[in-house]
Amino acid sequence: MNIALIAHDKKKEDMINFSIAYSHILQEHHLYATGTTGKLISKATGLNIHRFMSGPLGGDQQIGAMIASNEMDMVIFFRDPLTAQPHEPDVSALMRLCDVYHIPLATNIAASEIFIHGLERGDLKWREIIKEKRQKEGNA
């Protein structure tokens, strides 16, 4: 599965700790992240992560493009709800795309742990069916 990992500045340490704790699961998947978050996770865990631009510089939109193209299966986005974000419209657009395309989106560590355990159990295999269906529709 393709998994996006994103964290606002005040949540990056939480994302690093989450990634360390679940690296044994994450290593089985294709990981994508916005710039600094990806660099920090990779440094702490050794996980192979495709890094996009920083979120405010277009990274959120690059991930959004993958969602709209049926190339992203899950988004784990540790948001900071107590700090104003200069790129809030991009964040809102990313969350809207997750809703439109039925992409599981966790915005805090509690939901992310549920997702990661579900991923480990195979609960998200339905994404493979959705991907296949959308690919057939696109080729018809």
Identify the pLDDT of residue 124: 87
Altogether, the residues listed in the chain come to a count of 140
Identify the band that residue 139 occupies on the pLDDT scale cut at 50, 70 and 90.
Answer: low
Domain edges within the chain: 2-139
Given a cut of 90, whether residue 134 has pLDDT beyond it is no
Identify the pLDDT of residue 130: 79
Residue of 9, 14, 60, 73 with catalytic role: 60
Identify the band that residue 119 occupies on the pLDDT scale cut at 50, 70 and 90.
Answer: very high
73 tagged catalytic = no
Fold held by 2-139: Rossmann fold (3.40.50)
- CA-CA distance, 104 to 95, in Å (whole number)? 10
pLDDT in tens, 63-108: 999 999 989 999 999 999 888 887 788 889 999 999 999 999 999 9
Furthest C-alpha separation in the chain: 46
Task: For the full predicted model, state whether its pTM sits above 0.85.
Answer: yes
